[in-house]
Each structure stands twice: as C-alpha cells, then as structure tokens.
Amino acid sequence: NKTKLSSMAKIPKVHWEDVGGLSHVRSEIMEAIELPLQHPNLFPPSTRSGILLYGPPGTGKTLVAKAVATECKLPFLSVKGPELLGSYIGESEGNVREVFAQARTCARQNKPPACILFFDELDSLAPRRGEQASGGNVMDRVVATFFGELDKDAKDCSIFVMGATNRPDLLDPSLLRPGRFDRLVYLGIFPEDRAQILAAQIRKLNLKDEPHVLAKFVVDKLPNNLTGADLSTIATGAQLLATERLCAEAENEFQMQQANGNSELTMDQLLESW
C-alpha cells in the first residue's frame, strides 16, 4: 500500500464486447456514470452515488468495473480492501485517506477530471460496526474514516466509486446510505447468459469460426450453474487441448515425412502451414 496508485492508474482495455451477457447491469451502471460525466452541471458531486457490485466469486464484478472505466475513458484505480489494513495505530485510516487523495490527483490529471476508484473485497473495509469482539474500535475508526472520505465533495474533479463484495451481509448498513453506495447491482449465475459469456471468451481466442455459433453449439452440453470464471477456464482449457492435439498430429506427420525421406519442411513450418 506504499505504491503510488495514481501513477499506476490507466484506462483499462476491457470493452463491453469482452463482457458476455449482463445487459441489465451494463445499462444501470452506465446511466449512473455516463450521464453525470456528460452533464456535470446537472449532477453535482453531492448527487452522485457509489455502485456496489455484489454476488458470488467469478461472476464478473471486476471485469464489469474495468469495462465501465474503458468505455467511459476513465483511469481505473483498484484497491483490495484488506491491502489498506495496517497493524500500526492509525495506519489503516492513513491508508484510506491516502487512496482517496491519490484518486483526486489522478482525476485532476484526466480530461474530463474524473476517475473510477474501485474497492474489491469491500466487506473487509466497511464491516458492520460495533460487532467485533476484539479490536472492534480500531475497525470502527477505519470504517468512519472511509465514510468520511466517501462523503467529501471535491469541487474540481469527480471520483466515481465502485465496490465489489461476495458478502454483502457483512457490510455496515450505513455504507448504503444515499450518496455512498446507494446503487446495488447483483451479478450472479444467469444460465441464459452462458452462451454470450462463452462467445466473449471464444472471441479472444481469434478462431476462424464465428464465436456465437461455436458457443451455442457447446453451451447445451455444459451444466447451467457455471460462473463466467468457470466458462473462461473451459474456453482456455479447450484451446490448450486443441493446440496440444494439433502439435501431436503435426509431430506424427513430420516423423512420417522424415521416414519417407521427403521432409522439406521443418516442424515449425509444418505447423505454420496447417
């Protein structure tokens, strides 16, 4: 957490076409960010809301947050909640303040002066107060500092705050007050999205076949409780398997050509020609 976040903040390269399905999520989030960006005078910072993405692991929360930043051309600062928690007195609060300060610096350097500040594992940074048996007060102070920073209005820049959690039940309820994280967006396992998610994965593999056709063909053979991350693992696993098979076949062919004395091509050239 000593790293300068603002110097690492870049506009990501995740476009909406890399995100399969989740169209309801897309429109809700874009509305919350695009409109204030286009009409800052109609949406002063005090009227803006943070967006909380919640749902099981691997359902695309981080991916979606990056896609929003890419599509809105905003630098993306990402922090994992636990990374900010230090062991010295006041260290965690200092880290929280530092992250917001860096986000403001980063926003001011951008045109328009705005950025996205994304908190992953938000539950570890804003757990329900007054419940920790030991060290409770310490954590309560961190939560209070976090809320204080969320409530601050910077006049000359906009920080769009997004958060993600698998455990919304652990969050302090006042995190969800208007002006903090008052837009809640659920990302879950939507069986009807599987083909589109798989197609988004297949597109990245640059195959000759049309991704949607391939995805439709495969998806009926898969269980319907798979997350986006599971589908991604299947797509890359299939690519690896296909490559291994291709190499094995090329190796066979190469051996045969050598045995027959007509091996004009090297193994690499043979693979290339396939």
Residues that bind ligand ATP (CB under 6 A): 19-22, 57-63, 120, 164, 166, 197, 200-201, 228-229, 232
Q: How far apart are CA 1 and CA 81, in angstroms?
A: 11
Residue closer to ligand ATP by CB (options 24, 152) is 24
- We find the least distance from the C-beta atom of residue 122 to ligand ATP, in angstroms, to be 11
Inter-residue contact 65 to 162 (CB < 8 Å): yes
53 or 115: CB nearest ligand ATP: 53
The least CB distance from residue 62 to ligand ATP, in Å, is 4
3-state secondary structure (DSSP) of residue 72: coil
Residue 204 C-beta: closest distance to ligand ATP, Å: 9
C-beta closer to ligand ATP: residue 164 or 185: 164
Cα–Cα–Cα angle for 167, 148, 164, nearest 5°? 25
Min dist CB 120 to ligand ATP, Å, is 6
| Smallest separation, CB 230 to ligand ATP (Å) | 8
Q: Residue 181 and residue 52: Cα distance in Å, rounded?
A: 6
Q: Which residue is nearest to ligand ATP (CB)?
A: 228
Whole-number Å distance between alpha carbons of 184 and 48: 13
Q: Which residue, 117 or 157, is less far from ligand ATP as judged by CB?
A: 117
Question: How buried is 107 (Cβ within 10 angstroms: 0-12 exposed, 13-18 middle, 19+ buried)?
Answer: buried
